[in-house]
Amino acid sequence: MSRAEDPDARALGGSEGAPPDLGHGSSHGPSTEKPVDAREAAGAEGASAGTGGGEGGLGPAPARSGDAPPAEAARPEMRPVLTVDLDAIRANWAACLRLAGGGGLSAVLKADAYGLGLVAVARALDGAGCRDFWVNDLAEAARLRAALPGARVFCLMGLAGGAPADFAALPAIPALVSPQEVARCGRHAAATGAAMEVALQLDTGLGRLGLSETEAERLGTEGLAGLSVVALVTHLAAYNLPDDPGNAAQRARLRRMAGRLPKAALSLSASSGLFMGPEWRLDLARAGSALVGTQTSVRFQPGLRPCYSLAAPVVAVTEHPAGRRLGYRGAGVLARPSRIATVAAGYADGLPQAYAQAGRPRFGEVPAPVVGGVAMNLTMLDATDAPEGAVGPGAQAILLDARAPVEALAEAMDCAPNVPLAQIGAAVRKVYVGG
């Protein structure tokens, strides 16, 4: 299985194409194959001499005299690394496709694919047969279209301040959120003499974005002249509560509103809706959370594989007596003589402070609880039970993976599992396996 770094990796000082060995409990182990260049595997958009470029970071500067010598450049980086398993993402797509049956299925990759890297994840899904994608805005759509010119890309935030001409030129399909956006696109179509493809967001109960029932009725078909409406989109407010009566009310409202609009694909269900039964999937389901393997319902969703593994290197190991207070304000009190491993990961890396109570870090198979809380870039772990000599500077602690998934952390934070995952993914370097 090959590994590839994300395009930010080299800008952050990582080795070129070869991530540090996760070792000590990594579910993937070191690669024995030739590393794949991150720009080839994950898509370095906008790379150019002197500036580079990729998924949000500058590329490597040209080598100059006085640069670090090779031995120093190869030194392991003391930062956490998020490993993304593209095979797991493709397997989750296949599981969702089976649930969709004969209905359409699309992929939601908003917010840089939940922090996991838009281009790398999109290319993996394209290889599995996905052709329809949802992103936040025109900027994300441009990145995705540059990597996959044949993809059909919807923008969930509508025009979001962009010009209709820019969407038409890319092309990308805005899911229009207001009568004003509908009017702007209609004027563009009239000026160019060409129909413009759009989707319509319908507010059936969430109250966040979209046309109200009254607004949709006023538009009817006459207010949509020049527009080719390809999808009518809404989102369940109680997506994580399959038996909530509000879900059925929203579905009925969607059908009622659709009856007053041009015929188009109905898109109601996101990931959780796929597991609620065929009557919820309609014409075009939108899989997002399910693709990364997070559970987003009070009812367990079988067949999903977490695609992430977060590891952090040990900076230092210290010995402390029983009774010693550690951390800010002495938050941790040692009940026994302890060996404490301080790892390079903290809330600046997206690791929430709730991880101190809810996290399940380990070295290999040995649990290593957090001591003294989560600081900005450092966290102390109790490595006393790890074998002597197994934990030292550079050793890797596993903070999150399929055995210690993000759901427990999200529960402690009282939020959806995507919240900590997206925060971590946006902050740390990513490498990819299974590409």
Q: Which residues are catalytic?
A: 110, 328
Hey, CA dihedral for 295, 296, 297, 302, is it positive or negative?
A: negative
Q: Which residues pair with 354 in a beta bridge?
A: none
Nearest 5°: phi and psi at 10? -70, -30
The first and second tokens of residue 132, run together, are: 């329809």
Backbone torsion region of residue 77, taken as left when φ is above 0, otherwise alpha when ψ lies between -120 and 50, otherwise beta: beta
Please identify which residue in the block is written with the tokens 């010598």.
69
For residues 221 and 297, give the distance between their C-alpha atoms in angstroms, rounded to a whole number: 37
Q: Give the angle 214-165-156 at the CA atoms, nearest 5°.
A: 50
